[in-house]
Copies of this chain bind each other. A is one copy, B any other.
Amino acid sequence: MPIEVVAFDADDTLWHSEDGFHEITGRYADLLVQRAPAATRSGVSDLLDWTERANLAHFGYGVKSFTLSMIETAAAVLGDNVPVSLVREIIGLGKELLARPVELIDGAAEVVTALADRYRLLLITKGDLLHQERKVHESGLARHFEEIEVVSEKDEATYSRILREHGVRADHFVMVGNSVKSDVLPVLAIGGRAVHIPYEFLWQHEHAEHDGDVPELTSIRDLPVWLATQP
């Protein structure tokens, strides 16, 4: 079946994202360990991850949720009182993460630009609406995409709706992303194709068991050839 529409995940597929969360988590753990000597960096990081997952149903994905979870975790670690200076520093870390300049993944700009001549392109991403829109704008790639879809969950229902709205058949559709759980498995389940391009860091929540039968590329630079050689 000919490929007509290529959809890209954004964070950690077109630009770096998880490395920022990773760095901010490290600096956050340092702040807490300084004030609660019984705490360890890895203990803080695990508790933050647990709090984030527990808060997903309330707050959803993105930096604001992450910032609220950092504050909640600090309250759990510190006992009676949280110094006001620490509250300010944590909110400052959140704002810093939101303001981080977009840094494109090596090869992303060239590949998106080249594919835009040949396929209809979509961008499908989770997270804070305002933050994602700002990153798309800053990336300089927005003009290549027929639509930017910021969604609250990437599941079969979401992909089915997007295909329906864009009038594209599942067997003419390919999704490209760094998460097997969000970008690959639900698309395969509705009869589409998907290709996994792993990123250096994977948020634990995005981990998925699979039988290894998932197409995988080392770099986005390999995507044009992979697409051209699809049956």
A78→B84 contact, CB < 8 A: yes
* Best-surrounded residue of A71, A131, A151, A165 (most CB of chain B within 10 A): A71
* Residue A59 CB within 8 A of the other chain: yes
A24 within 8 A of B: no
A205 contacts the other chain (Cβ, under 8 Å)?
A: no
Q: Is the CB–CB distance between B95 and A84 below 8 Å?
A: no
> At the interface, yes or no: A79 with Cβ under 8 Å from chain B?
yes
Binary CB contact string for chain A from 204 to 219 against chain B (1 if under 8 A, 0 otherwise)? 0000000000000000
Q: A65: CB under 8 A from chain B?
A: yes
Residue in chain B with minimal CB distance to A130: B60
Total identical chains = 2
A114 lies within 8 A of chain B by Cβ:
no
Q: What is the CB-to-nearest-CB distance from A20 to chain B, in angstroms, rounded to a whole number?
A: 15
Residues of B within 8 Å of A58, CB to CB, are: 95, 98-99
A130 contacts across to B, CB distance below 8 A: 59-61, 152
Residue of B nearest to A76 (CB): B84
Does A4 make an interface contact (CB < 8 A)?
Answer: no
**In the complex where A129-B129, A152-B129 touch, is A87 in contact with B64 (Cβ < 8 A)?**
no
- Select which of B65, B83, B94 is within 8 A of A80 by beta carbon: B83
A75 beta carbon closer than 8 Å to chain B: yes
CA distance A72 to B92 in the complex (A): 10
Q: Which residues of B contact A79 (CB under 8 A)?
A: 84
Contact of A87 among B61, B67, B75, B147 (CB under 8 A): B75
Question: Does A150 sit at the interface, judged by CB under 8 A?
Answer: yes
> Would A64 and B71 count as touching, CB distance under 8 A?
no
A127-152 residues at the B interface, CB under 8 angstroms? 128-131, 133, 147, 150-152
Q: Could you list some 5 contacts between A and B, CB below 8 A?
A: A60-B131, A64-B65, A67-B68, A72-B91, A74-B87
4 nearest A-B pairs in the assembled complex, by CB-CB distance: A60-B130, A81-B81, A64-B64, A130-B152
